[in-house]
Amino acid sequence: MLTERKDSFIFEESFNGDWNLFRQIVNSKSVYYIYDADGILVYSAERVFNNFEERHGIKVFPKNINTWNYLTEIAVDHGLDKNSIRQAEDDWYDGDVLESSKRYLYSRPLVNLTIGLVGAERNLILTSREPNLKVETYRWFGNHFPKIPKENILIRDEGSPLSGTKFKVREVGKYAELVDWVVFMDDSTKYIKAVLDAGIPNCMVIIVPQGIVKPDFSHDRLITAGRYPEEIQGMYPIYRAFKKALQEGIPY
């Protein structure tokens, strides 16, 4: 089915940003690639949404996500009780749920590609998950992305005073000091904007929003990529962008 549908994929409709800059960076060897976990590599939305449907009998689809607290809004719109509304998002923070999640289609080929470009030591996972989810996070990546060293999975320590946002900004800035470019990929407009606002001059950010979320801001170093197939929120568009950039080479 996916092979048949590739004929309808239009690259230009799934990539927005400075193509020449993207080509330049992808063809550079002095780069750190920093991936978000949930929403970019971990398809946690599928499992979380399936659990929500089983509990409440309400069909919800990741392709329809339009806000950060999507399930809460669904619960309110369907008149669920206060307890159900309050707990609508809880599975996003449940270790068993997250560990049993699948990976996104094309996420592993994408990571294998960037590992091939700069080595596993320059590919990082940067997650805003709570520190108590470290064990499940390490196990999941060990099973799904075994080429990524455990020490390259960046998650806050117990007792850290940093919010998820400040933690991500700090880590991106730290690694940007070591190379010509750092590429930060996330699905959250909040985290993407925070990194851009930090003014890290050699950081290109790639947002791959879930569902129908769109960034309401622009930037010279912002790349926006779509999802394909939309039904399963696949990562094919950004994977295809990397392949295309490598085929075309460094712009002159």
At residue 225, the 3 state secondary structure works out as strand
Computed over its alpha carbons, how large is the radius of gyration of the chain?
A: 18
At residue 199, the 3 state secondary structure works out as coil
Q: What does the pLDDT look like over 156-175, one tens digit per residue?
A: 999 999 999 999 999 999 99
What is the sign, positive or negative, of the torsion defined by CA atoms of 151, 156, 161, 167?
A: positive
Kindly list the distances between the CA atom of residue 176 and the CA atoms of 79, 151, 244, in Å, as whole numbers in the listed order.
47, 17, 25
Distance CA 127, CA 233 (A): 19
The β-bridge partners of 223 are: 206
**Residues counted in the chain:** 252
Structure confidence at residue 7 (pLDDT): 53
Buried-exposed string 110-128: b where 16+ CB fall within 10 A, e elsewhere: bbebbbebbebebbbbbbb
Q: What does the pLDDT look like over 171-219, one tens digit per residue?
A: 999 999 999 999 999 999 999 999 999 999 999 999 999 999 999 999 9
Q: What does the pLDDT look like over 21-61, one tens digit per residue?
A: 999 999 999 999 999 999 999 999 999 999 999 999 999 99
Q: What does the pLDDT look like over 102-157, one tens digit per residue?
A: 999 999 999 999 999 999 999 999 999 999 999 999 999 999 999 999 999 999 99
- Domain 2-43+103-248 fold: Rossmann fold (3.40.50)
Percentage of the chain beyond pLDDT 70 is: 97
- Which one-letter amino acid corresponds to residue 187? D
Lateral strand order in the sheet of 181-186: 15-16, 222-225, 203-207, 181-186, 31-35, 123-126, 153-154
